[in-house]
Amino acid sequence: MSLGEIAGLVAAGAFLLLVLILAVPLLKLGRTADEATRALAQVADSLGPTLANVNTTIDGVNETLVGVNGQLAKVDTMTTHVQQLTTNVASLSSLVAATVGGPLVKVAAFTYGVRTAAKSRNKADLQREVADRIKAERKARHRRGEA
């Protein structure tokens, strides 16, 4: 056996292994497709009776509505009034937000600025005081002859 024949056998074996490895997911995919087909068939079988029940329900509702038609007109009027009320409240809310909201935002921003400035000033004062203490201690040590 030559070196080329051995290489050919190794390549054929590797290809066979690759085919076997790829066959497993394909078989699982086939099973999944079969299960999906069965599930769709069950849905289709149960859909007919469900639609018949829906049609019966709709017929009953239509019969009820024919007798209640006068009350539906009243409900429609109330719905229109509620819609108008909602629109008015939304407009009033927008007006209050525009009138009061702007100044409140400015006051909040000013207050935040004052607080930030006060904190930074207190911090600067504290840092200056600490630096002065350190300088005084160094001068005192220097005077005593400590290095």
Q: At what angle do helices 3-67 and 69-144 cross, to 10 degrees?
A: 130
End residue of a domain, out of 45, 67, 89: 67
Residues 44 and 16 in one domain: yes
How big is the CA angle at 96 (ends 90 and 100), to the nearest 5 degrees? Answer: 155
What is the extent of the structural domain holding 50?
1-67
pTM to 2 decimals? 0.32
Look over the chain and give the mean of its residue pLDDT values, rounded to a whole number. Answer: 81
pLDDT in tens, 98-146: 776 677 677 778 888 888 888 888 888 888 888 999 999 998 888 887 6
End residue of a domain, out of 67, 90, 118: 67
Residues 87 and 138 in one domain: yes
Residues 76 and 138 in one domain: yes
Q: In Å, how far are 92, 95, 98, 102, 115 from 105, measured between CA atoms? A: 19, 15, 11, 5, 15
- Assign 3-class secondary structure to 10-36: HHHHHHHHHHHHHHHHHHHHHHHHHHH
Residues 60 and 82 in one domain: no
Residues 46 and 10 in one domain: yes
Residues 86 and 32 in one domain: no
Residues 62 and 80 in one domain: no
How big is the CA angle at 70 (ends 66 and 75), to the nearest 5 degrees? Answer: 110
- Sign (positive or negative) of CA dihedral 18, 22, 27, 30: negative
Measured in residues, the chain has a length of 147
Residues 26 and 88 in one domain: no
Find out whether 86 and 93 touch, Cβ atoms under 8 Å.
no
Report the percent of the chain where pLDDT is more than 90: 6
Q: What is the DSSP letter of 1?
A: -
Residues 43 and 86 in one domain: no
Q: What is the mean pLDDT of residues 33-47?
A: 82
End residue of a domain, out of 67, 83, 110: 67
Residues 97 and 130 in one domain: yes
Residues 22 and 43 in one domain: yes
Quote the pLDDT of residue 73.
61
Which amino acid is located at 138 in the chain? R
Count of domains observed in the chain = 2
Residues 41 and 93 in one domain: no
